[in-house]
Amino acid sequence: MAEKGLSALPMELVSQICLDLSEEDIHRLRLTCRPLGQKTSHAFYTTHFRTSAFMITRDSLQTLVDFSKKPQIAGTIKQLKLVLVTFPTAEKARLDGKTSAAEHLEEASAALSLDEDGSSKHLKELSQKRVRARRRMYGWNQQDQNLLRTTGVDADLLTEALLNLTALESIATCAIYDPDMKPPWGLRKLVNELGMRPSTSHLHSARYMLKTVQEANERTVFAAHSVGVVLGAISRSGIKLKDTLSIDGAPGDLSFSKTPSSRKLTPTSTPANTFAESQIESLPFSDLKSFDIFLDGNYRRYLDRILRRTQTHIERIEMPWLPKYFPTMTSLQYLCIRAGRPGYT
């Protein structure tokens, strides 16, 4: 049977029409018939994956690697965002036994078959069991993320993905959840396992929860390590970003090992072969147009020193690695260095 209506149009025209549609409308259009599903494939992948968010966790990074091996996805990812989801020790004790909507219905149905005392006891036991399961899962995620860091596997996975992302133009780390952005891949699974959304590395966004210096240090260590992971993956893959590199939540006292062969661990326990200071000057930043860095904590006092051009001041700052970037950015058009809380520069 000959195609009629919209499905009879050439794929080029259907793609142009999709430019004026929202992502949800494209999803609905794809479901109308098989010919339109095929003709809107490019528009779907472009809209759905152009800006993709992931986390520095094993499952999320492995998903990124798997996506990068699919040409129809790898060729459409333009902007890669890494949300700095982490697992501070103090958060583990705050997990509770509250149920999701599905769990509540299931438990309510089970409780109806019991008397009042038995029902109350049954629900309490289920809540306690759920807390123990969530804390075990939280501890596993915490240990696995630490293992990724100390072994350099996180940088290996990101490097493998970058080698395949031929259309990638920008990379950004995000120290807070962006309400305007789709959740990072793997977050829904974590929420189901933990009963809550895990926290991020940003100190100000978690200030109401910070109880100990240890918790603040754990978040800062992870934020610092994430910089090394991103720079190390860029260095190894040789990918030339043509638009933006954005580093969010970097601590002011960030430091790397001197060389990749160094045996001395940095305060973040980041292996030297993940990234080292000696690799900064060889980073492939010649095509980079924009560099945006947000310093977390009380590092505003360093900005004037960083931006001044005298060698004396550059030597005095606590981020001696930062000025080393600038000679590699020969095409840079926009530089932004911020400090303080989100929205405060």
Domain boundaries, the chain: 18-48, 50-89+145-339
Rg (CA), the chain: 24
CB 7, CB 35: distance < 8 Å: yes
The residues near 5 (Cβ < 8 Å, ≥ 6 apart) are: none
Comparison of pLDDT for 211 and 44, the residue scoring more? 44
| pLDDT band of 125, cuts 50, 70, 90 | confident
pTM score of the predicted model: 0.81
- Of 31, 69, 23, the closest CA to residue 50 belongs to 23
> Average model confidence (pLDDT) for the chain?
80
263-275: per-residue pLDDT in tens? 776 666 788 889 9
Q: How confident is the model at residue 58 (pLDDT cuts 50, 70, 90)?
A: very high
What pLDDT was estimated at residue 181?
A: 83
State residue 141's pLDDT score.
95
Q: Poorest-confidence range of 101-110, 140-149, 258-267?
A: 101-110
The per-residue pLDDT for range 83-105, each reduced to its tens digit, is 999 998 888 888 876 665 555 55
Residue appearing with tokens 């030339």:
240
Q: For residue 291, what are the β-bridge partners? A: 245, 335
Question: Contact 198/142 with Cβ under 8 angstroms?
Answer: no
Is-contact 81 170, C-beta < 8 A? no
Mean pLDDT check: name the lowest of 140-154, 166-180, 193-207, 269-283.
193-207
Indicate the SS3 state at residue 196. coil
Per-residue pLDDT for 46 more than 60? yes
pLDDT exceeds 80 at position 36:
no
Identify the pLDDT of residue 167: 93
**pLDDT of 241 strictly over 80:** yes
The token pair at 245 is 């590199």
Higher pLDDT, 285 or 261: 285
Rounded to an integer, the average pLDDT of 296-318 is 45
Task: At 85, give phi and psi (nearest 5°).
Answer: -75, 130
| pLDDT value at residue 174 | 92
